[in-house]
Amino acid sequence: MPVKPVFEAVINHVSILDEHGNFDSELGDGLIPDADVVAMYKHMLVCRHFDEIAFKLQRSGRMGTYPENRGQEAASLGAAYALEQNDWMVTCYRENAGLFWRGLPKEKILLHWMGDERGNNLDGLRMTPLAIAIGSQMLHATGLAWASKYKGEDSIACTFFGDGATSEGDFHEAANFAASLSLPVVFVCQNNGWAISTPSSVESAAPTFAQRGLAYGMECVQVDGNDLFAMVKVTRDAAKRAREQNKPTFIEAVTYRLGDHTTADDARRYRDQEELDMWMKRDPVIRLRQWLESRDLWSEEQEAHAKAEAEKEIAMVVKNAEEIDAPASSEFFDNMFVELTPELKKQRQTMRTSSIGQNPSQVDVKQSEGAIK
Closest Cα to residue 132, out of 76, 167, 188, 93? Answer: 93
| Cα–Cα distance for residue pair 166/309, rounded to 1 Å | 39
The answer to whether residues 190 and 160 touch, using CB atoms and an 8 Å cutoff, is yes
Residue burial 174-187, b: 16+ Cβ < 10 Å; e: rest:
bbebbbeebbbbbb
| Cα–Cα distance for residue pair 182/176, rounded to 1 Å | 10
Whether 140 is a known active-site residue: answer no
The answer to whether residues 88 and 144 touch, using CB atoms and an 8 Å cutoff, is yes
Whether 150 is a known active-site residue: answer no
| Cα–Cα distance for residue pair 174/156, rounded to 1 Å | 15
Whether 270 is a known active-site residue: answer yes
Catalytic position from the list 13, 20, 268, 270: 270
Catalytic position from the list 257, 282, 287, 289: 257
The answer to whether residues 121 and 83 touch, using CB atoms and an 8 Å cutoff, is no
DSSP string covering 324-365, please?
Answer: PPPPPTTHHHHHH-SS--HHHHHHHHHTS-GGGTS-GGG--H
List Cα–Cα distances, 357 to 122, 342, 369, 370, in angstroms.
37, 15, 17, 18
| Cα–Cα distance for residue pair 249/152, rounded to 1 Å | 20
| Cα–Cα distance for residue pair 2/56, rounded to 1 Å | 66
Catalytic position from the list 112, 261, 287, 289: 261
| Cα–Cα distance for residue pair 289/73, rounded to 1 Å | 14
Q: What residues act catalytically? A: 257, 261, 270
